[in-house]
Each structure stands twice: as structure tokens, then as C-alpha cells.
């Protein structure tokens, strides 16, 4: 049986920081794609852009269309095309034009995730990983 876990991690060490990023633990590319489709579908209803900083194994346009996801609101950037990854992610989080930023831990480390400016942002940050979750985690719905 395939399971995906989502773990909320604090974005700051201060007590006032209640904004979090979500680590999405996925066993393989199939589970990762299914969870990505769920996130994209939910964000699509917010009428904002979704930034996907992605490896090469992302769902095709046909799969997005079949899942009722408007691909015109999805901005896909490949890691190899970015010069300053942290700047791009921080800009997306701070501008307010994005419902979510989605990436992978083989692109962004957990240490980098902790440095992103999430406190004053309405943008959610999701990071997919194949690592085993630490601490308390819950099965995604």
C-alpha cells in the first residue's frame, strides 16, 4: 500500500512564527505525482499562480488537463535554469502572486527551507522528499 506523509516544520525559531512549510514524504514518483496533483488542484482554485521548481519527473500537460488543473496558472522552472534559487523562492513567497511554491529536497535542502521568509506570506511552501519523516507526521488527505 502506498502512503504519503506530510510533516509541518517550523520556519523560524521564534515563538511568534506560526507559518510553516510542509514536507511531503513520497515513496516513489507515482505517489509523488499523485500528491502533487492534489496540491495543484487545491491551489488552482485560489486563482493565483503556483510556482513549481521541479526535477524532470513532473506530470505532463495532458495529465494536468485530465485532472482539471489549469496549467496556464502553473509556472514551471527547472533547477538547471535558475541562477539564484533562494532569491526566486523568497520573491515568490513575498510578492503575494502565488498560492504555493512546490519543490523537492534534492533541489532545496531543509536548511535552505528554514531560511525562507514565510512569516508574512500567504503563499504555502511544499517540499517533496523521499527521506523518512522525523518527529510527528500525519498521512496526507
Mean pLDDT estimate for the chain: 75
User: In the chain, what are the domain boundaries?
Assistant: 4-135
Higher pLDDT, 6 or 130: 130
- If residue 32 lies in a helix (H) or strand (E), which one and from where to where? helix 29-44
Q: Which fold has domain 4-135?
A: Rossmann fold (3.40.50)
Least confidently predicted of 1-15, 50-64, 77-91, 110-124: 1-15
Specify the pLDDT at position 37. Answer: 92
Higher pLDDT, 140 or 58: 58
Please count the helices (runs of H) and the strands (runs of E) in the chain: 4, 7
Highest mean pLDDT among 39-53, 76-90, 103-117: 39-53
Reply yes or no on whether the pLDDT at 39 is more than 90.
yes
Higher pLDDT, 9 or 118: 118
Reply yes or no on whether the pLDDT at 40 is more than 90.
yes
Buried b (16+ CB within 10 A) or exposed e, 14-31: eeeeebebbbbbbeeeeb
Q: What is the DSSP letter of 72?
A: G
Reply yes or no on whether the pLDDT at 117 is more than 90.
no
Specify the pLDDT at position 135. Answer: 37
Amino acid at each position: 500500500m502506498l502512503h504519503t506523509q506530510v510533516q509541518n516544520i517550523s520556519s523560524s525559531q521564534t515563538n511568534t512564527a506560526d507559518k510553516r512549510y510542509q514536507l511531503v514524504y513520497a515513496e516513489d514518483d507515482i505517489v509523488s505525482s499523485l500528491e502533487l496533483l492534489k496540491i495543484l488542484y487545491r491551489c488552482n482554485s485560489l486563482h493565483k499562480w503556483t510556482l513549481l521548481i521541479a526535477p524532470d519527473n513532473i506530470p505532463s500537460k495532458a495529465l494536468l488537463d485530465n485532472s482539471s488543473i489549469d496549467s496556464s496558472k502553473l509556472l514551471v522552472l527547472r533547477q538547471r535554469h535558475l541562477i539564484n534559487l533562494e532569491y526566486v523562492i523568497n520573491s515568490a513567497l513575498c510578492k503575494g502572486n502565488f498560492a504555493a511554491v512546490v519543490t523537492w529536497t534534492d533541489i532545496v535542502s531543509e536548511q535552505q527551507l528554514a531560511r525562507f521568509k514565510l512569516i508574512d506570506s500567504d503563499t504555502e511552501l511544499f517540499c517533496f522528499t523521499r527521506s523518512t519523516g522525523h518527529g510527528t507526521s500525519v498521512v496526507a488527505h
